[in-house]
């Protein structure tokens, strides 16, 4: 199974978009993927269902931070490398989908309400939108990690 298929499978198992990206890219990171998946728990649905930056994209940014980020004792160049990769990922995502905001990707669907979640289910937005976003991030990370 390739990485983007794994990410889609994880979404089908009930993991959010950020978590699904991290599951799929885990072998490339060399860290405890379970810990990263837990860290990503609040990033789904545009950060806790707020419809902000797409969770798939934030999961990708977490992966980039894990690979390139600045840790204790590292010099500032690690931060600059991470920022550069983050901007590249965000630009690729926006070019593919027209926006980085979850609520815009979902056509205004408000996931913070029961009605919005019902619309999300009825319109199969998880399959029709979110899976494509996850695929875009996973494929981009294949080149950026």
Instruction: Break the chain into its structural domains and give their ranges.
Output: 3-144
User: Which pLDDT value is given to residue 11?
Assistant: 95
User: Which pLDDT value is given to residue 30?
Assistant: 76
User: Which pLDDT value is given to residue 98?
Assistant: 98
Ordered per-residue pLDDT tens for the chain, 145 residues: 899 999 999 999 999 999 999 999 988 887 888 998 999 999 999 999 999 999 999 999 999 999 999 989 888 998 999 999 999 999 999 999 999 999 999 999 999 999 999 999 999 999 999 999 999 999 999 999 9
From residue 91, give the alpha-carbon distance in Å to each of 5, 88, 97, 126. 23, 5, 10, 22
User: Which pLDDT value is given to residue 27?
Assistant: 83
User: Which pLDDT value is given to residue 123?
Assistant: 97
User: Which pLDDT value is given to residue 96?
Assistant: 98
User: Which pLDDT value is given to residue 29?
Assistant: 85
Long-range own/partner contacts, residues 88-95 (CB < 8 A, 24 or more apart): 88/140, 88/144, 89/57, 89/60, 89/61, 89/64, 89/137, 89/140, 89/141, 89/144, 90/57, 90/61, 92/136, 92/140, 93/54, 93/56, 93/57, 93/60, 93/133, 93/136, 93/137, 93/140
99: number of CA atoms within 13 Å, CB side?
Answer: 15
């Amino acid at each position: 199974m390739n990485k983007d298929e794994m990410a889609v499978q994880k979404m089908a198992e009930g993991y959010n978009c950020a978590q699904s990206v991290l599951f799929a890219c885990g072998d490339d990171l060399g860290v405890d993927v379970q810990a990263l998946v837990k860290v990503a728990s609040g990033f789904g649905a545009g950060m806790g269902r707020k419809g902000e930056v797409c969770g798939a994209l934030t999961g990708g940014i977490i992966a980039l931070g894990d690979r390139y980020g600045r840790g204790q004792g590292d010099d500032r160049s690690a931060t600059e490398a991470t920022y550069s990769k983050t901007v590249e990922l965000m630009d690729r995502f926006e070019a593919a989908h027209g926006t980085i905001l979850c609520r815009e990707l979902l056509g205004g669907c408000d996931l913070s309400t029961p009605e919005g979640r019902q619309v999300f289910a009825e319109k199969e937005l998880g399959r029709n939108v979110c899976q494509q976003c996850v695929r875009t991030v996973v494929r981009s990370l294949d080149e950026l990690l």
